[in-house]
Structure 1
Amino acid sequence: MADVEHETALPSWPVGADAAHVAARRSLASAEQELRDQLERVAAARRRMPPGPLLADYRLAEGPADLDRSEPTRDVRLRELFEEHDTLFVYHLMFAPDAAEACPMCSLWVDGFHGVLPHLRRHTAVAVVAKAPLPRLRDWARRRGWTGLRILSSHGTSFNADLRAEHPDGTQRPMASVLRAEGDRVRHFYSAPASFPDGGERGIDLLSPVWNVLDLLPRGRGDWYAGNDYVPDRA
């Protein structure tokens, strides 16, 4: 702790910074601290949300933990996904039943969750659910290198539609959800779609370090969009 306190006593600008840079950085630091405090207030309000509805006893299709194997597959109850935890973090991967591959942006988010999976699993169970048939979904997970993630297909169920991760016309919607175990049942706690109710985007950007790093760069994030073409095929 002493080292941390010593570190915070240092300024956020390097030796040789001129007065204009120092003044601007100090002003920016105040704005950043205000943003931090607002984020903490929002997080506290999220935790005070009243209970959501109890969910149906969905059966989702899952294959072996080894993504190189295709059999055996089984239907898994939603409640089983919690394992030893009382919460479950679900990422609703945009991957339509007739699509050739998953959404690039959704894949970017799942790449990030996969990278910090050991840390997340100390606090919650984690699963990725998509509407695509299980063989196609598992092939995509194998190409992305999502070893260790629970990858499940909701094909043939109303899971996506009931949780609003799917529009009435079947179009998929990127979203993250948190569910809670309640005895042998599952209760909805929170969902965050990629877009806000007013139509603006960036609804779940805070869940990916990529956006946060890009926002630090001189050019910002611009109109960049993730692609599936630069991720090595691990087949």
Structure 2
Amino acid sequence: MNYAQAKDTLTGHRAQIAALRQQMREVQQAIEPQPVDDYVFQTLDGSVTLSQLFGDKTDLFVIHNMGTGCTSCTMWADGFNGVYDHLASRAAFVLSTPNTPAVQRDFAAGRGWRFPMVSHEGSSFAQDMGYRGENGGWHPGVSVFQKRGDQIVRVSDAELGPGDDFCITYHLFDMIPEGVTAWSPKYAYA
């Protein structure tokens, strides 16, 4: 297939993806929200509840991050750091890990992260939201919550992983004919 033919084919596929995204938005608007508890998290300043994480916003993004032991979760968080101001202008945003607040602070400082972080250590939050496996391991993802009066509801969530909609790295690598190949994220590159 020559370049022009391939480009036309890829443009058609991208149009199909755009149409599918519109269908997903329509389902998202019709979803029945899931009531959730007002979980307690730990920060360097002490305990904070899920409802407090909203600040003055109605919507809240919570990133379920596996913590300092996961290079992929670190890459996703590096990407969120770049768009944090844009996201925070519309909704509250926080990254939740099983690490202690002191470990989070040191790791975030080394990465230059600017967004707020909370520790769900000792809480059932990640498990209740579906981001802890049966073997006890953590899973990455994102949950979106809304505050509706005195009630907190989860209105959507998605797992994070290679090729998802939340990390541009894999999509850019998809434009290289060989794709990702044997590449994997690292904490630092030589």
Question: For 1:27, which of 1, 5, 9 is the aligned residue?
Answer: 9
Structure 2 gaps, min length 5: none
Residue 86, structure 1, aligned to residue 58, structure 2: yes
Runs ≥4 residues deviating over 3 A: none
Pairs aligned (count) = 190
CA contact (8 A) 1:93 1:102 kept: no
Alpha-carbon separation, structure 2, partners of 1:193 and 1:30: 27
Question: What is the rounded CA distance, in whole Å, between the counterparts of 2:133 and 2:155 in structure 1?
Answer: 20
**Partner of 1:105 in structure 2?**
72
Tell me which of 174, 180, 190 is aligned to 2:146.
180
Which residue in the other structure is 2:183 paired with? Answer: 224
Aligned to 2:122: 156
Matched, 1:77 2:36: no
C-alpha distance in 1 between matches for 2:7 and 2:188: 38
Larger radius of gyration: 1
TM-score (norm 2): 0.91
Displacement, 1:229?
A: 3.2
What is the distance in 2 between the residues matched to 1:24 and 1:57?
A: 51
Gaps of 5+ in 1: 1-18, 64-72, 96-100, 196-200
Counterpart residue type for residue 117 of structure 1: Y
Mapped to 2, the partners of 1:78 and 1:139 lie a distance apart of 23
Q: What is the alpha-carbon distance in structure 2 between the residues aligned to residue 26 and residue 144 of structure 1?
A: 40
Residues 229 and 50 of structure 1: is their aligned pair in 2 closer, same or farther, counting only changes over 3 Å?
same
Aligned partner of 2:77: which letter?
V
Sequence identity percentage: 26
Root mean square deviation, CA, Å:
1.9
Tell me, yes or no, if the aligned pair for 2:143 and 2:156 is still in contact at 8 Å.
yes
Q: Pick the aligned partner of 2:108 from 134, 141, 153.
A: 141
Structure with more relative contact order (C-alpha pairs < 8 Å, separation 6 or more): 2
Q: Aligned with 1:190: secondary structure?
A: strand
